[in-house]
């Protein structure tokens, strides 16, 4: 029964990780921007939802909308007023990464100043665990998480393969110079990528707020998980990111059957480390040419 | 007041050593490591363990710290040989998280989350560095030696090989450079010297726990190097001095609420990183148009 419990927990964590990683993977795959502030987007969305829903008692669709707007405004402005300026004069990925990291530090500390350093949880009627089988506890929100992940992935898949904007975005990932020849503007498309990527993080942020709670420093963990899942899954492959998010979430929970919980985060990164050493292209990725 | 300034000066020396060594791999070899705090930590724990269980001889502890850090740095060299750019940053992040977990969970050696308390001051030829002024002198001497070593290495043929590898690995290989050996050696040197800094830190503070070796430390060190200027000899020292004096300067501003000082300090770091990357990516010391490859 312990195994079944860990499996369900793993599925829930994995679905959340898949959603988190999808946004990062999309941004990184299409624009090659190492968006370390993705975790900051997540924290912003989570706290805005908390403020609206638990403190101001606004009903949840409006609160979710507010969180979505906050996240997408943050992502798009960051791309427009920080990343694009850096990319104009220097292409080095590390420069962008450092700026992004600086941004993540700023957001984390601003949130700590505004909302306090302690953890907050959004309690919803769905968060309470029910005993499904003797000794097996499942909260209804786990089902919401999984359904959410599936719905968002299908929507994203449709957007990227069936619409002309999706095709333009994929072209941006392939060859940013060539698409200018076809009369498209890489800068504008890059903003769409940030818009979509930032929106993708919102459901994960809200659901995390409702399951395990928020704290200002959690952006770091979100960033680490998205980087790990993107690389394990293969850069540029959404399917890979989703799969890797699921694998990492599962591994983090299933390993609890054999080792102490303090080590579970290390398990994720041992997996990442092994992938980088032996299969840097990831599960679905192309070969890495440095 | 003097004691306070002495304290800052010693910590400045330690951070300057760390920034210098990080710059050695970041600026000259193009290895962007986010796991530097781990080697700092390895050095500190090694010194603490030896000083408390075996001998408090300065030279022995420092040499052991440097050696252990250098050997463990192979864990960082391995991915550095395989992948570059984003992939390496991710690998070093992974290493950082794994290292912190080991520091806080390997209780028999590292004392777990509680850390190690009561590390004795070091002895050198029968003299014990109990006095803080003497310790400051020691720290300055060690900093001087580290500056000397990195300057020698960078100016010599080894440094030129490193820069050649940074700028184009295949070109360097074509000219008969042993790319893998040079990269591995540079990582080992940087990690070993970071271990020395760790050793100094453990002796000075006499209490260590995992808090000092977290991702935040690695990022702070990276910020020092970048704000000062990557690939310049004195940039990291300038960066360390700036970032070390910032918290001290903030405490003198009366209108800031003391409870938020930490956050405000962090926000200033972050802001400095963002603005510098936007308008002066070469750092304060480096030239504006400095071309870096990644």
> Over 50: is that where the pLDDT of B289 sits?
no
What's the CA dihedral at A115, A117, A119, A122 to 10 degrees? 0
* pLDDT tens by residue, A250-281: 888 888 877 777 787 788 888 888 888 787 77
Question: Any bridge partners for residue A137, and if so which?
Answer: A131
Residue B190 C-alpha from the chain's centroid: 8
Residue A254 C-alpha from the chain's centroid: 21
- Top-ranked range on mean pLDDT: pick from A67-71, A214-218, B151-155, B211-215: A67-71
**pLDDT grade for B120, boundaries at 50, 70 and 90:** confident
Return the number of other C-beta atoms located less than 10 Å from residue A133's C-beta. 10
The CATH number fitting domain A2-278, selected from 3.30.1330, 1.20.58, 1.10.3470, 1.10.472: 1.10.3470
Residues B43, B204: Cα–Cα separation, whole Å: 13
Structure tokens at B48: 């603490």
Question: Any bridge partners for residue A138, and if so which?
Answer: A130
**pLDDT grade for A285, boundaries at 50, 70 and 90:** low
Which among A213, A217, A234 has a CA at the least distance from the CA of A286?
A234
Contact between chains at A28 and B260 (C-beta distance less than 8 A):
no
**pLDDT grade for B292, boundaries at 50, 70 and 90:** very low
Beta strand ranges found along chain A (DSSP E): 130-133, 136-138
pLDDT at B291: 44
> Over 50: is that where the pLDDT of B183 sits?
yes
Is B286 inside a domain boundary?
no
pLDDT at A44: 92
Higher per-residue pLDDT: A110 or A131: A110
Work out how many CB contacts closer than 8 A connect A with B: 137
Which among B240, B266, B244 has a CA at the least distance from the CA of B23?
B240
Return the number of other C-beta atoms located less than 10 Å from residue B271's C-beta. 14
Is B225 inside a domain boundary?
no
Is the ipTM of this structure higher than 0.85? no
The dihedral sign for the CA sequence A28, A108, A82, A197: positive
Listed in sequence order, the residues at least 6 apart from A205 whose beta carbon sits closer than 8 Å to its beta carbon are A42, A43, A45, A46, A49, A67, A71, A214
DSSP secondary structure letter of residue A136: E
Distance from CA of A195 to the nearest CA of B (A): 21
Which among A26, A20, A52 has a CA at the least distance from the CA of A201?
A20
Higher per-residue pLDDT: A52 or A237: A52
Comparing alpha-carbon positions, the chain A residue that sits nearest to B267 is: A106
Within an 8 Å CB–CB cutoff, is residue A58 touching chain B? no
Residues of A with Cβ-Cβ distance to B179 under 8 angstroms:
none
- Strands B116-117 vs B207-208: parallel, antiparallel or unpaired: antiparallel
DSSP secondary structure letter of residue B206: S
Is B84 inside a domain boundary?
yes
Chain A residues 110-139 with a CB less than 8 Å from chain B: 110, 112-113
Q: How many CA atoms lie within 13 A of B113 on its CB side?
A: 1
Mean pLDDT of A237-256: 85
> What is the residue extent of each domain of chain A?
2-278
Listed in sequence order, the residues at least 6 apart from A167 whose beta carbon sits closer than 8 Å to its beta carbon are A160, A161
Considering only A179-188, B31-40, B275-284, which range has the smallest mean pLDDT? Answer: B275-284
User: What percent of chain A clears pLDDT 70, i.e. is strictly above it?
Assistant: 93
pLDDT at A90: 62
pLDDT at A73: 92
Q: Quote the pTM value.
A: 0.82
Is B235 inside a domain boundary?
no
Residues A58, A63: Cα–Cα separation, whole Å: 6
Is B254 inside a domain boundary?
no
Considering only A143-152, B40-49, B104-113, which range has the smallest mean pLDDT? Answer: B104-113
pLDDT at A217: 82
- The helix-helix angle for B74-82 and B58-72 (nearest 10°) equals 30
Which among B3, B11, B34, B8 has a CA at the least distance from the CA of B200?
B11
Structural domain harbouring B89: 2-212
Contact between chains at B294 and A220 (C-beta distance less than 8 A):
no
Distance from CA of A230 to the nearest CA of B (A): 10
Contact between chains at A108 and B79 (C-beta distance less than 8 A):
no
pLDDT at B185: 87
Mean pLDDT of A95-110: 87
Listed in sequence order, the DSSP H helices in B24-131 are 36-53, 58-72, 74-82, 85-105, 107-110
Residues of A with Cβ-Cβ distance to B278 under 8 angstroms:
82, 85-86, 99
Q: Which backbone phi and psi does A137 adopt, to 5 degrees?
A: -105, 130
Residues of B with Cβ-Cβ distance to A106 under 8 angstroms:
266-267, 270-271, 274
Within an 8 Å CB–CB cutoff, is residue A73 touching chain B? no
Is B239 inside a domain boundary?
no
Distance from CA of B270 to the nearest CA of A (A): 4
User: What percent of chain B clears pLDDT 90, i.e. is strictly above it?
Assistant: 2
**pLDDT grade for A91, boundaries at 50, 70 and 90:** low
Listed in sequence order, the residues at least 6 apart from B167 whose beta carbon sits closer than 8 Å to its beta carbon are B30, B293
Contact between chains at A109 and B264 (C-beta distance less than 8 A):
yes
In 3-state terms, what secondary structure has residue A68? Answer: helix
Contact between chains at A110 and B277 (C-beta distance less than 8 A):
no
Listed in sequence order, the residues at least 6 apart from A229 whose beta carbon sits closer than 8 Å to its beta carbon are A17, A18, A20, A21, A24, A25, A241, A244, A245, A248
Contact between chains at A265 and B101 (C-beta distance less than 8 A):
yes
> Over 70: is that where the pLDDT of B21 sits?
yes
> Over 50: is that where the pLDDT of B288 sits?
no
* pLDDT tens by residue, A134-143: 667 777 778 8
> Over 50: is that where the pLDDT of A38 sits?
yes
Contact between chains at B85 and A290 (C-beta distance less than 8 A):
yes
Comparing alpha-carbon positions, the chain B residue that sits nearest to A277 is: B79
* pLDDT tens by residue, B127-154: 777 777 888 888 888 899 988 888 888 8
Is B292 inside a domain boundary?
no
**CB distance A266 to B97 below 8 Å:** yes
pLDDT at A289: 43
User: Mutate which of A78, A87, A102 to test chain B, going by most B C-beta atoms within 10 A?
Assistant: A102
Instruction: Report the number of distinct structural domains present in chain B.
Output: 1
pLDDT at A41: 92
> Over 50: is that where the pLDDT of A80 sits?
yes
In 3-state terms, what secondary structure has residue A177? Answer: coil
Is B112 inside a domain boundary?
yes
């Amino acid at each position: 029964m312990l195994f079944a419990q860990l499996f369900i927990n793993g599925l829930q964590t994995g679905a959340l990780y898949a959603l988190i990683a999808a946004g990062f993977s999309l941004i990184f795959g299409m624009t090659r921007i190492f968006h370390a502030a993705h975790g900051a987007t997540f924290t912003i969305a989570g706290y805005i939802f908390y403020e609206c829903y638990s403190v101001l008692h606004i009903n949840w669709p409006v609160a979710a909308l507010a969180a979505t707007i906050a996240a997408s405004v943050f992502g798009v402005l960051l791309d427009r007023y920080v990343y694009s300026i850096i990319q104009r004069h220097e292409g080095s990925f590390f420069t962008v990464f450092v700026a992004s990291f600086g941004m993540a530090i700023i957001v984390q500390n601003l949130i700590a100043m505004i909302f306090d350093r302690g953890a907050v949880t959004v309690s919803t009627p769905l968060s309470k665990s029910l005993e499904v089988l003797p000794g097996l506890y499942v909260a209804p929100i786990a089902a919401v998480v999984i359904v959410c992940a599936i719905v968002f992935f299908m929507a994203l898949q449709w957007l990227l393969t069936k619409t002309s904007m999706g095709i333009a975005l994929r072209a941006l990932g392939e060859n940013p110079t060539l698409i200018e020849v076809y009369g498209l503007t890489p800068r504008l498309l890059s903003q769409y990528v940030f818009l979509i990527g930032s929106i993708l993080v919102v459901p994960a942020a809200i659901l995390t707020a409702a399951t395990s709670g928020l704290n200002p420093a959690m952006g770091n963990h979100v960033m680490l998980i998205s980087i790990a899942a993107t690389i394990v899954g293969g850069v540029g492959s959404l399917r890979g990111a989703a799969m890797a998010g699921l694998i990492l979430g599962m591994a983090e929970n299933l390993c609890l059957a054999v080792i102490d919980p303090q080590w579970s985060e290390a398990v994720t990164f041992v997996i990442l480390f092994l992938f980088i050493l032996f299969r840097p292209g990831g599960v679905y990725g192309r070969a890495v040419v440095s | 007041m003097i004691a306070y300034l002495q304290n800052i000066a010693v910590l400045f020396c330690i951070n300057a050593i760390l920034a210098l060594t990080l710059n050695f791999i970041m600026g000259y070899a193009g290895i962007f490591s986010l796991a530097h705090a781990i080697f700092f930590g390895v050095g500190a724990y090694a010194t603490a363990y030896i000083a408390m269980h075996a001998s408090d001889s300065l030279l022995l502890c420092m040499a052991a710290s440097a050696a252990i850090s250098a050997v463990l740095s192979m864990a960082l060299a391995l991915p550095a040989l395989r992948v570059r750019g984003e992939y390496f940053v991710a690998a070093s992040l992974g290493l950082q998280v794994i290292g912190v977990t080991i520091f806080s969970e390997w209780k028999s050696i590292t004392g777990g989350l509680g850390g190690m308390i009561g590390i004795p001051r070091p002895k050198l030829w029968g003299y014990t560095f109990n006095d803080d002024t003497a310790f400051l002198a020691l720290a300055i001497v060690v900093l001087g030696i580290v500056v000397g070593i990195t300057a020698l290495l960078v100016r010599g043929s080894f440094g030129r090989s490193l820069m050649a590898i940074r700028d184009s690995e295949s070109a360097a290989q074509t000219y008969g450079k042993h790319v893998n050996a040079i990269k591995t050696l540079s990582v080992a040197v940087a990690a070993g010297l970071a271990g020395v800094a760790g050793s100094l830190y453990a002796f000075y503070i006499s209490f260590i726990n995992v808090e000092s070796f977290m991702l935040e430390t690695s990022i702070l060190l990276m910020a020092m190097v970048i704000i000062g200027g990557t690939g310049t000899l004195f940039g990291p020292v300038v960066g360390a001095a700036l970032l070390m004096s910032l918290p001290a300067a903030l405490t003198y501003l009366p209108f800031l609420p003391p409870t938020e000082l930490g956050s405000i300090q962090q926000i200033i770091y972050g802001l400095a990183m963002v603005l510098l990357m936007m308008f002066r990516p070469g750092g304060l010391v480096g030239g504006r148009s400095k071309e870096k490859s990644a």
